[in-house]
Chains A and B, each alone.
Chain A
Amino acid sequence: KQEVTQIPAALSVPEGENLVLNCSFTDSAIYNLQWFRQDPGKGLTSLLLIQSSQREQTSGRLNASLDKSSGRSTLYIAASQPGDSATYLCAVSPETSGSRLTFGEGTQLTVNP
């Protein structure tokens, strides 16, 4: 059974800092890995999707890397802003079905002005 772990569970940083969120998964037979953002009481916004054959994806100040063999992914946020405050979730899908997502418990990020 796939298990996804995110570290840290919570993170508080001053505005402008660069930061790294970590995600690990136990079964390396994945189809893809996604990073999502969730604001309090809201649904999910997809940030980045990395196919299993890819090593990283970038979107603006966000960069996600994937090391499939070691079961790890990182989300790098550059020059953090208060608007980045949210819970960040990573999710993986198995090779057998690209849609069946297993989520981590998230990292709650607070960026202080």
Chain B
Amino acid sequence: GAVVSQHPSWVICKSGTSVKIECRSLDFQATTMFWYRQFPKQSLMLMATSNEGSKATYEQGVEKDKFLINHASLTLSTLTVTSAHPEDSSFYICSARDAGTGLETQYFGPGTRLLVL
């Protein structure tokens, strides 16, 4: 149980295009999902907290107009990198909290590697 999937796992795009990454909780409902970014040899940095049915909360320094987050259902959150540039190339990981348990445990997806040319 408690599986989180991400799609796509790999994406290569040209500079200036937009890329959408999906995060799904497969066997539980997640009122809260989190988006992290990880650069090579560095740790995960929280970008934003996504709440179902409301606006996402962004961490300081993260541009909300550049990283659009939508959490339209209890099992799906999407992150859209708009007008991507090479410096946006990174490993993006989502996590989800099981709304049914009342616990704070986060379950992590397998990550999406983005390469912007």
Contact = CB atoms under 8 A, between A and B. Distances in A.
Interface residues on B, range: 20 to 34
A99 interface: yes
B43 A99 contact: no
B32 interface: yes
Interface in A84-98: 89, 91, 93, 98
B106 interface: yes
A43 B43 contact: no
Contacts of A7: none
A31 interface: yes
A1 B67 CA distance: 23
Nearest to B41: A105
B108 A44 contact: yes
Contacts of B4: 43
B35 to A, nearest CB: 12
19 contacts: A41-B91, A41-B113, A42-B111, A43-B4, A43-B6, A43-B109, A43-B110, A43-B111, A44-B93, A44-B95, A46-B105, A89-B44, A99-B32, A99-B34, A99-B104, A99-B106, A103-B45, A105-B43, A106-B43
Interface of A: 31-32, 36, 41-46, 49, 89, 91, 93, 98-106
